[in-house]
Amino acid sequence: MSSTARTVLPGANPVLALGSDEERRIESGYLRKSDGREKISALREEMQHTMEAGAGIYRVRASIAAAADKIADIQERYKAVSMEDHSRTFNTQLIAALELGFLLDVAETILQCALQREESRGAHQRTDFPARDDIKFLAHSLVSKGSNERPVVSYMPVTITRWPPGKRVYGEQSKDGGHDSH
């Protein structure tokens, strides 16, 4: 909890207290900010290019790791985002800044999960790990923020219900049900 968080009184609504804390965070971190030097649009574009290069359909450890380092750098630069509009009504620049912060958190989460999943699953192909590994990775990825504010990945087992997982096959292989004919 931040140092500016309020103490919740017994019987008080903790959700309202969290909302109040968030409002103070936005006020001090964005609306009163006058020393920012990073442009929202430039950071967003850099994030987009980084994710396309490092976390596309075809992935390899080196490109994922490079993208993770770059996104961590952009996260740091985001702390110095420039805010020219300090109004509290219809502030589209504030919306863009908040959205960028959320997108950076999601990008960082995707990259950390991709680094740990040493397999190919679904539409994402790790060219350095072409096979699917149900023993290690048939699991839901759960992500939380660690003490250093970076994502920490843990896993929760998957409960197989009606349809068990199967090999994805395309083209000629799909005609024989995905079975190898060799």
What CATH number is associated with residue 56?
Answer: 1.20.58.100
User: Does any domain span residue 108?
Assistant: yes
Look at the chain and report how many structural domains it folds into: 1
Using CB atoms within 10 Å of the CB of residue 137, give its burial: 0 to 12 exposed, 13 to 18 middle, 19+ buried. Answer: middle
Residue 92 structural domain: 14-133
Q: 107 or 16: whose pLDDT is higher?
A: 107
Average pLDDT over residues 38-65: 96
Tell me if 35 is assigned to some domain. yes
Rg (CA), the chain: 21
Q: Please name the residue that has the structure tokens 């965070």.
A: 25
Give the pLDDT score at 173.
Answer: 60
In a domain, 121, yes or no: yes
d(CA 76, CA 174): 46
Q: Please name the residues in contact with 132: beta carbons below 8 A apart, sequence gap of 6 or more.
A: 119, 120, 121, 165, 167
pLDDT at 6 over 60: no
Its pTM stands at 0.79
Confidence class for position 11, pLDDT limits 50, 70, 90: low
Q: Is 143 among the domain residues?
A: no
- The whole-number average pLDDT for the span 130-152 is 90
Residue 111 vs residues 47, 52, 151, 177: alpha-carbon distances, Å: 12, 11, 10, 33
Rounded to the nearest 5°, which phi and psi values hold at 83?
A: -125, 110
Over the stretch 56-65, which tens digit does the pLDDT of each residue have? 999 999 999 9
Mean pLDDT of 85-96: 92
Q: What is the predicted pLDDT for the residue at 13? A: 84
What's the mean pLDDT in 32-50?
A: 94
- Establish if 97 belongs to a structural domain: yes
Q: Is residue 172 part of a domain?
A: no
> Does residue 174 belong to any structural domain of this protein?
no
Confidence at 181, pLDDT banded by 50, 70, 90: very low
What average pLDDT score do residues 168-175 get?
A: 66
Residue 6 lies in a domain: no
